[in-house]
């Protein structure tokens, strides 16, 4: 497998190893995050002119789904501010480990929660309330604050980054999609780890902390749970850890057989399609139902949403693969073959987000100059009028993303099908049908 | 068949599907008028169909608060206060499907107040589906050697 | 603790305190007037204070939809108050008193209820005696039905009326016009040589001579901005809120006095000759000034100037009479 070891470059290795560049990014993100909470709580209630809505759901989301996830996998986790206050308290230091470690509970997360089901649920909670969340600054502010305090609280009780690994709604899907990304963190030589004493990459040392993601770097074969925090590069005494550039979706060659991850793929695929229809479509009734939380229409909307994600999409998929004679049990096949939906889901989100972002990006300039809607004009752009951007290229870009995603998923399906010795045709047709529906919804 | 050759053939087929000019059904352009209600947060009707070259007039009637209507790509817009029907007229000289949005903040779900106008046939949608079909045909053709 | 750790902690603390403290401080020192739909609270604050001769600087923002701001009984053009943005306006007062400010862009069924007051204090002067509206001095019961008993069979033409009026003793004075309904004017024109239709034409001419093109244009604009949403763009009582008003009426059959007959009604149809030809300008002025006492018709007394009401009334009659352009 073609790989380029990026950490061969001393510049890259030292930048990643040093705590200062990372800290600088952390401070900027933390300041932005806290300001977003403040803006949500005291700024104008008009979403399109409030920093919290514009910079979280338009600017940050655009960069996340269009650039960071496809090209850097869990790159956002590497700079996310949410775990920081809790982690600094937990560690008793902001930079290198202190001499005297503070005594927090450091409990291990109970086994029954050591999966991504809680993340599936937290993502769904946000998704079902998304019409209100995406448009109401105070709700965004409260949710951001809640995540911050949850992370702090969990850090006081559990070891490592419990919020990030097991609760964060964003982490759930960027972990899944990071399998498709072209960068990875891996050990260089397995033998070195076999003879290593103490395994400081996992247990920590004076040079750094044990993996906050509860991953043993020596056994890391997929990107899914590695948050690219670089602690292991700092602690490894044998310089055996590297960050590599590699082919896209290399991890999908060894598909996971976990049900939680399988359903995550369907959750993401389904919600992208539902968002495209409800938020970007011309059907006012659907928007009313999605927005009027608590009304009868909303309960019907929730029911249909969940039925699509947990029933219809996986159900049809299973019908496609159930007839195939195979030695692998159905559950196994279901999980590993559904990994083929990962590239498709990612590109569905890219296509959906392109429309939403290009239409509303002009709000970013206005919110930059007047983040709270108080009449400021910090950069002179406060009166930028709303104007959709680059609309002529939108449709071709969406087609490229969706057809590209289809090809990508079809080839992944081929390889996954080969692994379990079945035909990939039902899955490929399934992907084609869903892609056509998404094209119809967006174009 | 040589994989490179088949890839080239598929790419060329893709270019044809994407860009080959389609015959224009010669329909004489006419003037069309639509009475459209705007409310928080939907238009009614919200899905319009006209022919290429038609002169389209939309009479926008806001029924609760001030709304606007902005047509993507055509870059034309109008604003209507309740009680004052506003008129937008433009020539539908670009074929395809275009979304229109409300461009006067009208409440929480304002960014999602969207409608669609299709001028002629939505050829790009059909081309895209065609490309998708071609894509999986290409992938399936490459299955055979591996099995 | 090592030096870098300490410095970093200080830096982080300072930066976070700054990013929270500075905006919070500036926010607390920015006095904004929030415009909200009436259903969401209306103007906040809704009572302002000012002084004669001292400019009053206001910062206005909308918390939901497009609103506007203007002070009643002045010639002030409405200033748009946009959602999420701040509009600045400076007001100057030369007379003390209580002024009403109001929303100038339709923002829902209860748009007209979106009002506040500005209490202007200043050199104490004798409060100007209010002019008694004509309907009061005429002792008109503006709530009593005022259906015309005779109506024209087709729309009367003022031009034809003008030609006919040359031969007749017609009272074109403003006093007569204001105090009489077209029906009454019709009755007063008892001349055996005229047909009913011709008499109506003369009434139309009488009405037209009490206004002019500019007033009609002004009335038309005032109507479009303030009345059309309920009364309909063509005066037929079929404005965009007519169904909401009807629903509100069906839902609540109570008024201040508990009287059934004053419940929310559908807006008046100005194209209905029976209803309008029996109403004098004084009566219409009364309705506009005082409002409908629970019927949903707003009271405009503190908003429109006398001239504006006069122009509006002239425009309303133009639904009944053909004034050649």
From the list A279, A391, A414, the residue facing B146 with the nearest CB is A414
Q: At what angle do helices A19-42 and A84-91 cross, to 10 degrees?
A: 130
* C92 and C166 share one domain: no
Q: Is the pLDDT of residue C104 over 70?
A: yes
Nearest-10 Cα torsion for A211, A215, A220, A224: -110
- CB half-sphere exposure, B105, CA atoms < 13 A: 27
Residues of chain A positioned with their CB less than 8 A from the CB of C57: none
In the block, residue with structure tokens 């993100």: A29
Q: What CA dihedral angle connects A436, B23, B75 and A63, to 10 degrees?
A: 30
Residues C168 and C282 in one domain: yes
Using the beta-carbon criterion (under 8 Å), do B107 and C65 form an inter-chain contact? yes
Residues A159 and A296 in one domain: no
**Interface B:C, Cβ pairs < 8 A:** 56
Tell me, yes or no, whether C91 lies in a domain.
yes
* CB < 8 Å to B64, chain C: 108-109, 240
The verdict on residue A416 lying in a domain is yes
Residue C12 lies in a domain: no
pLDDT band at C262; cut points 50, 70, 90: low
C215-220 average pLDDT score: 96
Please give the helix or strand (H or E) that residue C9 lies within, else none: helix C3-28
Q: Which residue has the higher pLDDT, C16 or A424?
A: C16
CB atoms within 10 A of CB C200: 29
> Quick check: B144 pLDDT over 60?
no
Q: In terms of domains, do C184 and C278 share one? A: yes
The verdict on C75 and C196 lying in the same domain is: no
Return the SS3 of C122: coil
Range of the domain at C249: 134-317
Asked if B83 and C225 come within 8 Å (Cβ–Cβ), the reply is yes
Q: Is position A189 within any domain?
A: no
What pairs with residue B90 in β-bridges?
B56
- Spatial contact of B49 and B21, defined as CB atoms under 8 Å apart: no
pLDDT tier, C246 (very low <50, low <70, confident <90, very high otherwise): confident
* Claim to verify: residue C186 and residue C313 sit in the same structural domain: yes
| Structural domain count, chain A | 2
Query: Partners for C (CB, 8 Å, 3+ pairs)?
Result: A, B
Hey, which residues 197-226 in chain C have their CB within 8 Å of chain B? 224-225
**pLDDT of res. B89:** 97
Of the residues A144, A163, A178, which one is the last residue of a structural domain? A178
Instruction: Express each pLDDT in B90-101 by its tens digit.
Output: 999 999 999 999
CA distance C189 to C169: 9
* pLDDT at C260 exceeding the cut of 70: no
- Give the pLDDT score at C126: 72
Q: For residues A174 and A287, state if they share a domain.
A: no
Q: Is the pLDDT of residue B18 over 90?
A: no
Domain boundary residue, one of A178, A204, A227: A178
Interface of B with A in 21-40 (CB under 8 A): 39
In-domain check, residue A287: yes
* Angle in degrees, CA C270, C276, C281, rounded to 5: 110
* Contacts B35 to C, Cβ<8 Å: none
The secondary structure of residue C298, as a DSSP letter, is P
Residue C49 in any domain: the answer is yes
Beta-carbon separation of C233 and B105 below 8 A: no
Per-residue b or e along A338-351, where b marks 16 or more CB atoms closer than 10 Å to that residue's CB: bbbbbbbbbbbbbb
Residue with tokens 């086994």: A111
Task: Indicate whether C255 pLDDT > 70.
Answer: no
Note the pLDDT of residue B146.
Answer: 45
Residue numbers of the domain that contains A386: 283-442
Give a yes or no: residue A217 inside a domain. no
Strand pairing report for C56-62 and C86-91: antiparallel
The whole-number pLDDT of residue C261 equals 54
Please check whether residue C127 lies inside any domain of the structure.
no
Q: Which residues contact C278 (CB under 8 A, 6 or more apart)?
A: C146, C147, C148, C149, C181, C182, C183
Task: Give the pTM.
Answer: 0.93
Domain boundary among C121, C147, C170: C121
- Whether residue A202 lies inside any domain: the answer is no
C138 and C83 belong to one structural domain: no
Q: Say whether residue C7 is in contact with chain A using an 8 A CB cutoff.
A: no
Tell me how far apart the alpha carbons of residues A261 and A43 are, in angstroms, rounded to a whole number. Answer: 38
Residue by residue, what is the 3-state secondary structure of chain A?
A: CCEEEHHHCHHHHHHHHCHHHHHHHHHHHHHHHHHHHHHHHHCCCCHHHCHHHHHHHHHHHHHHHHHHHHHHCCHHHHHCCCCHHHHHHHHCCCCCCCCCCCCCCCECCCHHHCCCHHHHHHHHHHHHCHHHHCCCHHHHHHHHHHHHHHHHHHHHHECCCHHHHHHCHHHHHHHHHHHHCCEEEEECCHHHHHCCCCCHHHHCCCCCCCCCCCCCHHHCCCCCCCCCCCHHHHHCCCCCEEEEEECCCHHHHCCCCCHHHHHHHHHHHHHHHHHHHHHHCCCHHHHHHHHCCCCHHHHHHHHHHHHHHHHHHHHHHHHHHHCCCCCCCHHHHHHHHHCCHHHHHHHHHHHHHHHHHHHHCHHHHHHHHCCCCCCCCCCCCCCCCCCCCCHHHHHHHHHHHHHHHHHHHHHHHHHHHHHCCCCCHHHHHHHHHHHHHHHHHHC
- Same-domain status, C113 and C138: no
Q: Tens of pLDDT along B106-137?
A: 999 999 999 999 999 999 999 999 999 999 99
Instruction: Give the burial string for B47-85 (b: 16+ CB within 10 Å, else e).
Output: ebebbbbbebebbbbbbbbbbbbbbbbbebbbbbbbbbb
A388 min Cα distance to partner chain C (Å):
19
In order of A181, A188, A189, A225, the CA distances from A220 in angstroms are 15, 11, 12, 9
* Among the listed residues B68, B69, B76, B115, the one whose alpha carbon sits nearest the alpha carbon of residue B92: B76
C-alpha distance from C284 to closest chain A C-alpha (Å): 40
**Phi, psi (deg, nearest 5) at residue B7:** -60, -45
Residue C169, domain member (yes or no): yes
Residue C212 belongs to a domain: yes
Q: CA A65, CA A365: separation in Å to the nearest integer? A: 20
Domain boundary among A178, A208, A232: A178
Token digits of residue C156? 């009367």
C-beta atoms of A440 and B125 within 8 A: yes
Domain count of the fold of chain C: 2
C294 shares its domain with C211: yes
Confidence of residue C263 (pLDDT cuts 50, 70, 90): low
Which residues of C are less than 8 Å from B61 in CB distance?
A: 240
C107 and C248 share one domain: no
Residue A257 within any structural domain of the chain: no
**Cβ atoms of residues B111 and A47 within 8 Å:** yes
Q: Are strands C56-62 and C33-35 parallel, antiparallel or unpaired?
A: parallel
Please check whether residues A290 and A148 belong to one and the same domain. Answer: no
A307-316, C45-54, C236-245, C287-296 — which is least confidently predicted? C287-296
Interface probe for A, chosen from B97, B143, B145 (most Cβ of A below 10 Å), is: B143
Verify that A167 and A306 share a domain, yes or no: no
pLDDT along chain A (443 residues), means of 10: 88 94 96 97 96 97 97 96 96 93 93 96 96 97 98 96 96 95 95 94 94 95 95 95 93 90 96 97 95 96 97 94 78 90 97 96 96 95 94 94 96 86 88 97 95
- Are B139 and A432 in contact (CB < 8 Å)? no
The nearest CA of chain A is from the CA of C84 a distance in Å of 5
Asked if the C-beta of A148 comes within 8 angstroms of chain C's C-beta atoms, the answer is no
Same domain? C182 vs C221: yes
CB contacts of A280 in chain B (<8 Å) are 99, 112, 114
Position C272 pLDDT exceeds 90 = yes
If asked whether residues C268 and C202 sit together in one domain, one would say yes
Instruction: State residue C37 phi and psi, 5-degree precision.
Output: -55, 150
pLDDT of residue B143: 59
Do C106 and B107 make contact, defined as CB atoms within 8 angstroms? no
pLDDT at A68 (0 to 100): 97
Mention every residue, 6+ apart, whose C-beta is less than 8 A from residue A25.
A79
Angle between helices A259-280 and A296-306 (to 10 degrees): 140
Phi then psi for A225, rounded to 5 degrees?
A: -115, 10
A198 φ/ψ sector (left φ>0, alpha ψ -120 to 50, else beta): left
A91 interface with C at CB cutoff 8 Å: no
Q: Which of residues 235-254 of C touch B (CB under 8 A)?
A: 239-241
Q: Does C31 touch chain A (CB under 8 A)?
A: no
C11 falls within a domain: no
Radius of gyration over alpha carbons of chain A, in Å? Answer: 22
Residue in chain C closest to B83 (alpha carbons) equals C229
C2 falls within a domain: no
- Whether residues C274 and C198 fall in one domain: yes
CB distance A399–B114 less than 8 Å? no
**Residue-level pLDDT at C253:** 52
Of the partner residues A47, A283, A439, the one whose CB lies closest to the CB of residue B108: A47
Is residue B50 within 8 A of residue C200, CB to CB? The reply is no
> Which of C121, C144, C166 is the last residue before a domain boundary?
C121
Q: Quick one: closest CA in B to A360, which residue? A: B111
Measured in residues, chain B has a length of 147
**Position A160 in a domain:** yes
Query: Which of helix, strand or coil describes residue C217?
Result: helix
Q: Is B143 on the interface with A (CB under 8 A)?
A: yes
User: Which chains does chain B touch, 3 or more C-beta pairs < 8 A?
Assistant: A, C
φ, ψ of residue A372 in degrees (nearest 5): -105, 0
């Amino acid at each position: 497998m073609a790989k380029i070891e990026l950490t061969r470059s001393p510049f890259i290795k030292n930048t990643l190893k040093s705590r200062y560049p990372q800290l600088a990014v952390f401070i900027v993100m933390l300041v932005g995050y806290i300001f977003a909470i403040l803006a949500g709580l005291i700024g104008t209630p008009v979403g399109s002119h409030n920093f919290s809505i514009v910079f979280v759901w338009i600017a940050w989301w655009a960069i996340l789904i269009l650039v960071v996830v496809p090209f850097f996998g869990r790159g956002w986790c590497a700079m996310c501010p949410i775990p920081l206050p809790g982690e600094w308290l937990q560690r008793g230091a902001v930079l290198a480990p202190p001499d005297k470690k503070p005594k927090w509970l450091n409990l291990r997360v109970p086994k029954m929660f050591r999966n991504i089901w809680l993340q599936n649920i937290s993502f769904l909670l946000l998704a079902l309330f998304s019409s209100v969340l995406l448009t109401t600054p105070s709700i965004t502010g409260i949710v951001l604050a809640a995540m911050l305090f949850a992370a702090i609280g969990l850090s006081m009780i559990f070891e490592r980054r419990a919020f990030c690994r097991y609760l964060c709604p964003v982490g759930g899907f960027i972990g899944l999609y990071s399998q498709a990304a072209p960068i990875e963190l891996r050990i260089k030589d397995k033998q070195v780890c076999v003879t290593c004493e103490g395994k400081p990459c996992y247990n920590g040392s004076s040079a750094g902390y044990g993996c906050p993601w509860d991953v043993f770097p020596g056994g890391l074969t997929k990107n899914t749970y590695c948050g690219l925090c670089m602690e292991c590069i700092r602690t490894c005494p044998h310089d055996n850890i590297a960050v590599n550039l590699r082919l896209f979706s290399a991890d999908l060659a060894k598909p996971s057989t976990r049900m939680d991850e399988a359903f995550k793929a369907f959750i993401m695929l389904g919600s992208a399609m539902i968002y495209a229809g409800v938020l970007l479509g011309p059907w006012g009734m659907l928007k009313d139902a999605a927005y009027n939380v608590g009304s009868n229409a909303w309960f019907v909307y929730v029911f249909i949403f969940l039925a699509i994600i947990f029933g219809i999409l996986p159900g049809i998929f299973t019908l496609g693969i159930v007839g195939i004679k195979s030695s692998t049990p159905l559950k196994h096949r279901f999980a590993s073959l559904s990994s083929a939906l990962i590239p498709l889901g990612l590109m569905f989100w890219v296509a959906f987000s392109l429309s939403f972002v290009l239409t509303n990006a002009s709000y970013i300039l206005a919110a930059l100059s007047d983040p709270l809607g108080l009449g400021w004009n910090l950069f002179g752009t406060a009166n930028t009028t709303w104007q959709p951007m680059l609309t002529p290229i939108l449709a071709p870009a969406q087609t490229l993303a969706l057809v590209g995603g289809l090809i990508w998923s079809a080839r992944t399906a081929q390889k996954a099908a080969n692994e379990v010795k079945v035909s990939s045709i039902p899955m490929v047709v399934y992907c084609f049908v869903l892609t056509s529906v998404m094209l119809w919804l967006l174009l | 068949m040589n994989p490179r050759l088949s890839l080239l053939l598929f790419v060329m087929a893709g270019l044809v599907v994407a860009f080959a000019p389609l015959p224009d059904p010669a329909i004489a352009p006419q003037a069309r008028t639509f009475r459209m209600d705007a409310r928080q947060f939907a238009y009614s009707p919200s899905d319009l169909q006209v022919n290429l070259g038609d002169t389209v007039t939309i009479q926008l009637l806001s029924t609760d608060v001030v709304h606007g209507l902005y047509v993507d790509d055509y870059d034309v817009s109008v604003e209507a206060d309740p009680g004052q029907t506003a008129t937008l007229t433009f020539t539908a000289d670009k074929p395809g499907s275009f979304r229109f949005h409300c461009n006067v903040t009208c409440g929480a779900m304002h960014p999602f107040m969207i409608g669609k106008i299709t001028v002629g046939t939505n050829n790009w949608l059909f081309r895209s589906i065609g490309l998708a079909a071609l894509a999986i045909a290409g992938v399936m053709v490459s299955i055979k050697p591996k099995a | 603790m090592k030096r870098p750790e300490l410095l970093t902690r200080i830096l982080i603390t300072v930066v976070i305190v700054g990013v929270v403290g500075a905006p919070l401080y500036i926010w607390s020192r920015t006095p904004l007037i929030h415009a909200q739909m009436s259903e969401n609270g209306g103007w906040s604050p809704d009572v302002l204070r000012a002084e004669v001769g001292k400019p009053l600087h206001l910062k206005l923002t909308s918390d939901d939809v497009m609103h506007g701001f203007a002070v009643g009984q002045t010639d002030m053009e409405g200033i748009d108050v946009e959602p999420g943005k701040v509009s600045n306006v400076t007001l100057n007062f030369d007379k003390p008193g209580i002024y009403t400010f109001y929303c100038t862009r339709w923002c829902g069924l209860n748009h007209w209820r979106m009002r506040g007051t500005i209490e202007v204090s200043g050199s104490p002067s004798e409060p100007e005696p209010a002019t008694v509206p004509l309907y009061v001095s005429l002792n008109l019961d503006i709530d009593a039905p005022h259906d015309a008993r005779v109506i024209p069979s087709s729309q009367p033409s003022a031009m034809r009326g003008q030609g006919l009026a040359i031969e007749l003793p017609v009272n074109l004075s403003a006093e007569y016009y204001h105090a009489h309904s077209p029906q009454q004017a019709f009755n007063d024109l008892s001349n055996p040589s005229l047909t009913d239709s011709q008499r109506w034409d003369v009434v139309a001419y009488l009405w037209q001579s009490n206004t002019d093109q500019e007033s009609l244009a002004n009335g038309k604009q005032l109507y479009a901005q303030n009345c059309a949403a309920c009364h309909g763009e063509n005066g037929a009582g079929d404005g965009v809120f007519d169904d909401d008003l009807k629903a509100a009426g069906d839902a609540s059959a109570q008024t201040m006095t508990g009287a059934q007959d004053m419940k929310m009604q559908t807006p008046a149809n100005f194209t209905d000759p029976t209803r309008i030809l029996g109403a004098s300008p004084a009566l219409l002025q009364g309705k506009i000034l005082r409002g409908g006492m629970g019927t949903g018709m707003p009271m405009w007394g503190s908003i429109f100037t006398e001239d504006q009401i006069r122009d509006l009334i002239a425009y309303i009659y133009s639904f009944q009479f053909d004034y050649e352009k």
